Amino acid sequence: MFSELKNAYKLVQYGLSLKKQLAFAVGFALIGIVLEIVTQGRQAVGGFYILISGLFIYQLIISSDVSTLVQSSPYKKKIQCFYPIISVVPWTYAVFTLIAVIHGIFVKLGGEELTQTHAMIILLIGCFLFITMIYFGVTYKFFVISTVIMCISVTIPITVVNTLARSGTALFDSYGRCVAISYVLLTVGSLISYLLSQIIYKYDLSEIAFRGMLGKKK
């Protein structure tokens, strides 16, 4: 598995618009860090931005499939389905763990009131990751429809979490429980993403998804 992971990361250098995509990744990470500091972790956006910065690796790897060399390669299916997901999952787990620890420190310092706040935030981040991982599994084949569905879907966990919070549920009394649920959501989302990429593998890559990068490549 380690050798496969090395192969996956080697493909990053062959992705379209490498410098531009890496700049976007750094930009998202920096914005996320600033938001986490400014809000003291009381909003989900900061942590989520930090996490999705690593998902640019997914896009770089799958964009390498546009080249004629890869198109004729026996590793084409791996490059589209397997390498992207195994490259981002370790990063996502590691960074999510770091964010969970930081929010856990805020909980320790803030008492019961902040326990519920950060439990809600970490669960929202887990829900957003679940949706985003699935989105990445299909968007490079069906960009428009998957993007529309994803934009609608992100409102669901926000509504559900806010409704549960107003109902006085005991769910958010345990920060550790919400962290555990988020790990489950991340794991299930990653598995669904991989399975969907396998199912839709034979469909052509969406030109719209790579339009900006392909234009520069030409």
Of 136, 111, 126, 104, whose CA–CA distance to 44 is shortest?
126
Q: Can you tell me which residue has the tokens 């546009």?
A: 66
Task: Collect all residues with Cβ–Cβ distance below 8 Å to 7 and sequence separation of at least 6.
Answer: 83
Average pLDDT across the chain, whole number: 87
pLDDT digits (tens, 9 = 90+) for 186-209: 999 999 999 999 999 988 888 887
Q: How would residue 218 be classed by pLDDT, with cut points 50, 70 and 90? A: very low
User: What is the predicted pLDDT for the residue at 68?
Assistant: 54
Q: Can you tell me which residue has the tokens 């914005």?
A: 31
pLDDT digits (tens, 9 = 90+) for 142-161: 999 999 999 999 999 999 99
* Lowest-pLDDT range of 16-30, 65-79, 145-159: 65-79
CB 100 within 8 A of CB 18: no
Asked if residue 50 has pLDDT above 90, the reply is yes
How far is it, in rounded angstroms, from Cα 103 to Cα 182?
A: 13
Of 64, 6, 10, 57, whose CA–CA distance to 29 is shortest?
57
Reduced to 3 states (helix: H, G, I; strand: E, B; else coil), residue 161 is helix
Q: Greater confidence, 168 or 73?
A: 168
User: What is the predicted pLDDT for the residue at 216?
Assistant: 45
How far is it, in rounded angstroms, from Cα 71 to Cα 68?
A: 5
Q: How would residue 132 be classed by pLDDT, with cut points 50, 70 and 90? A: very high
